[in-house]
A and B are shown apart, each in its own frame.
Chain A
């Protein structure tokens, strides 16, 4: 133990990398720049959330970001490590978590979700880079099961709210319960009820494309997700031609685009190889459609991502690239 700490401390001295070729080192891309890119990409989504949900969004964002930073500081301190608040990873977890919660959720839900996300989702596995599951989704799953009343479809709605969006049912739930079809333009621009960040398809697309162009997120994952949803949604439509909830509704509605671009693309919990990423994305998309159509929940992004996270090591093993001339 003492020896390990010594090595860690001596790492402050110039580090000489011993590695096989090719000798390329991406010093330009650090955790910090990646996380900063994610925060920039989240800006349109956050902006839309603030515009649609106003004070609700502001309050939830503040709770979750402060909660995640505090949890990171406390838990890494407990492990005797230096807190890594300035690599922004905890802040990104906080923002994504807040954007995946309903604006109406009471304050303790955000706090508990943040501490679960960072504590049980990340630090307990050894910190950033070691976690198996997407921390924000671990936090959300915990409060989703713990506080089913406040986090279920009914919890999103508050008829007496001054904010327009919150006084309606979420489009996914309105469809699941009563078969009501939301207009595509509302789903596209985002003036509907839902989790804070998921409502506006255009904002998710802008932020997501920025991430893909900057190569902070790999395009294979969202492509796989959307591809699988198009195929399965198309089949569902062919089998049920009278249904008004078309493939486009499936893509623009719910948390699909937000999940595809911001949640599934977490570099720690998704596979390493391009082929693996495509398999991962396709799996997420297929599970989302499965959960949406057959489960009791109106939406399935969270569970789909968590299930695929758990088989990421397997996908990595399947898709080890074969070196030139190797067998």
Chain B
């Protein structure tokens, strides 16, 4: 318990070294389900940022009151509160997007990424560290979702952010916006990230 990472370390780690999707393989349900367009991916990431930040801060504030056998229940209730906020907010102000995301916003409640951060960081460290951790992890999540969504939207529809970037003659790869495209893209990108970090580790070891 002695050497907990500092706030800055938590923030940096969340983005790439401990990227929630590519490194920890957490939160894969929305990663696969809502990445057929960049807009949906960004909205999802924003919702996760809001929920994770609020949950982490609250859990960190009450961390001395937590009883070990009840902590998961408390985490879930805290998360559920903020997910309800996010869900109703989206339904009120961006109704179309709320329709597109469907059940995946309520499903943030069971997103293991958030429970994991409450458990690993917020229930043990102070408010500032917990907040920095939430922002770093959310940025990492956003980066992962956007990288997958960019590939899928570009190949599947020839567009990015619903704006056409490839010429009209581009034949849409319909499979990429369907579930198989999510699995293929995610698998290939995960392989690419592993290959890249292996190479960096090998280069660092060589020195």
Chain A interface residues (CB < 8 Å from chain B): 106, 108, 112, 120, 142, 145-148, 150
Q: Which residue of B lies closest to A142 (CB)?
A: B175
Besides the known contacts A120-B184, A146-B172, A150-B171, 5 further A-B residue pairs in the complex with CB atoms under 8 A apart: A108-B171, A142-B175, A145-B175, A145-B180, A148-B174
A-side contacts of B135, CB under 8 Å: none
B129 to chain A, nearest CB (A): 38
- Tell me if A146 and B184 are in contact (CB < 8 A): no
For the complex, give the distance between the alpha carbons of A175 and B112 in Å. 51
Contact of A106 among B171, B172, B174, B178 (CB under 8 A): B171
Closest-CB distance, A304 to chain B (whole angstroms): 18
Report chain B residues within 8 Å CB of A120: 184
B171–A147 touching, CB < 8 Å:
yes
Q: B104 contacts the other chain (Cβ, under 8 Å)? A: no
A106 to B178, CA, bound (A): 22
Q: Are A147 and B173 in contact (CB-based, < 8 A)?
A: yes
Chain A contact residues: over half helix, strand or loop, or mixed? helix
A residues near B171, Cβ cutoff 8 Å: 106, 108, 147, 150
> What residues make up the interface of B, taking CB atoms closer than 8 Å to A?
171-176, 178, 180, 184
Alpha-carbon distance A146/B184, docked complex (angstroms): 13
Taken together as a complex, chains A and B put the C-alpha atoms of A106 and B171 apart, in Å, by 10
- Chain A nearest CB from B158 CB (Å) reads 13
Which residues of chain A have C-beta atoms less than 8 A from B180's C-beta? 145
Can you offer 9 A-B residue contacts whose CB atoms are under 8 A? A145-B175, A145-B178, A146-B172, A146-B174, A146-B175, A146-B176, A147-B174, A148-B174, A150-B171
**Nearest chain-B residue to A143 (Cβ)?**
B175
Q: Find chain B residues with CB under 8 A from A150 CB.
A: 171
Please list the 6 inter-chain residue pairs (A to B) with the smallest Cβ-Cβ separation, ordered nearest first.
A146-B175, A145-B175, A146-B173, A146-B174, A148-B174, A147-B171
Distance in Å from the Cβ of B190 to the closest Cβ of chain A?
12
Cα distance, A108 to B184, chains bound together (Å) = 19
Chain B residues, Cβ within 8 Å of A145: 174-175, 178, 180
**CA–CA, A112 to B171, complex, Å?**
11
> In the docked arrangement, what's the CA distance between A142 and B173, Å?
9
Specify which chain B residues have a CB less than 8 angstroms from the CB of A146 in the assembled complex. 172-176
CA distance A148 to B178 in the complex (A): 12
| A180 to B: closest C-beta gap in Å | 29
The distance from the CB of A213 to the nearest CB of chain B, in whole angstroms, is 39
CA of A142 to CA of B180 in the docked complex: distance in angstroms? 9
**Cα distance A147–B170 when bound, in Å?**
12
Give complex CA distance A147, B155 in Å.
12
Residues of B within 8 Å of A148, CB to CB, are 174
What chain A residues lie within 8 Å of B184 (beta carbons)? 120
Nearest residue (CB) in B for A150 is: B171
Residue from B172, B173, B175, B180 with most neighbouring chain A CB atoms (10 Å): B175
Residues of A within 8 A of B178 (CB): 145
When chains A and B are docked, how far (Å) is the Cα of A171 from the Cα of B113?
Answer: 53
Per the bound structure, the CA–CA distance linking A150 and B178 in Å amounts to 17
* Chain B residue with Cβ nearest A147: B171
Residue on B nearest A120 in the bound complex, by CB: B184
In the complex, A146→B173 CA distance in Å? Answer: 5
Tell me how far the C-beta of A112 lies from the nearest C-beta in chain B, rounded to whole angstroms. Answer: 8
Closest Cβ of chain A to B191, distance in Å, is 8
Q: A147 to B174: give the CA distance in the assembly, Å.
A: 6
A residues less than 8 Å from B176 (CB atoms): 146
- Give Cα A148–Cα B172 distance, bound, in whole angstroms: 10
Cβ of B182 to closest chain A Cβ, rounded Å: 13
Minimal beta-carbon separation of A208 from chain B (angstroms):
31
Contacts of A106 in B (CB 8 A): 171
In chain A, what residue has the closest Cβ to B174?
A146
- Taking the closest CB of chain B, its distance from the CB of A23, in whole angstroms, is 41
B154 to chain A, nearest CB (A): 14
Contacts of A142 in B (CB 8 A): 175
Measured CB to CB, the nearest residue on chain A to B155 is A146
Once bound together, how far apart are the Cα atoms of A150 and B174, in whole Å? 12
Q: How far is the CB of A214 from the nearest CB of chain B, in Å?
A: 37
Give the Cβ gap from B184 to chain A, nearest Cβ, in Å. 7
- What's the Cα separation between A120 and B174 when bound, in Å? 17
Which A residue sits closest to B176, measured CB to CB?
A146
Report the separation of the CA atoms of residues A95 and B171 in the bound assembly, to the nearest whole angstrom: 24
